[in-house]
Amino acid sequence: MPEATLTRRAVLRGTAGAATGLAAAVAAPQGAFGHDHGHRHSVPVPPEPIPGGIELAPGQVIHVWAPGSADVTLPFTGVTLQGLDTEPTTIRDFKGFSAVAFHVGTATGDDGTVFDLETDVRAFQGTYIDRTGKRRFGTFGFI
């Protein structure tokens, strides 16, 4: 039996497959529309974003923080993680589960071009207060 070899291409394909699976799970009707006492809603009501965030340019803020050890600086963007007590979700008034992963490395295109790779992937599941003030349950992904 031939020996299995782990290559960058295999890792990238596996990561892409996992991201696709996460996106499909997050896009399911329950996550997209939320539910309340077992009743489904046909019109999604978005959650409120967290206040503040990272300013990309004057007046352009994305409502996200970079949780993790403040000793870590991501190599390609130069972003320094903001501490272990930093809010991992992007949803205001959220109570539930959060998962965060930063991936750093390189990817090689079919033509041999090497690209820097840096991702921020998050998933959330729990209750939140939507923009109408109603408590809802949902599953969300941030890629």
**pLDDT score of 114 more than 60:** yes
**pLDDT score of 44 more than 50:** yes
CA distance 102 to 14: 15
**pLDDT score of 4 more than 50:** no
**pLDDT score of 118 more than 50:** yes
* 26 vs 7, residue with greater confidence: 7
Return the ∠ at Cα 140 (arms to 139 and 141), rounded to 5°: 140
Average pLDDT on 89-98 reads: 93
Q: Give the pLDDT band (50/70/90) at residue 143.
A: confident
**pLDDT score of 34 more than 50:** no
Share of the chain above pLDDT 70, in %: 70
Average pLDDT on 68-86 reads: 93
- Is the pTM higher than 0.85? The answer reads no
Burial class (CB in 10 A: 0-12, 13-18, 19+), 51: exposed
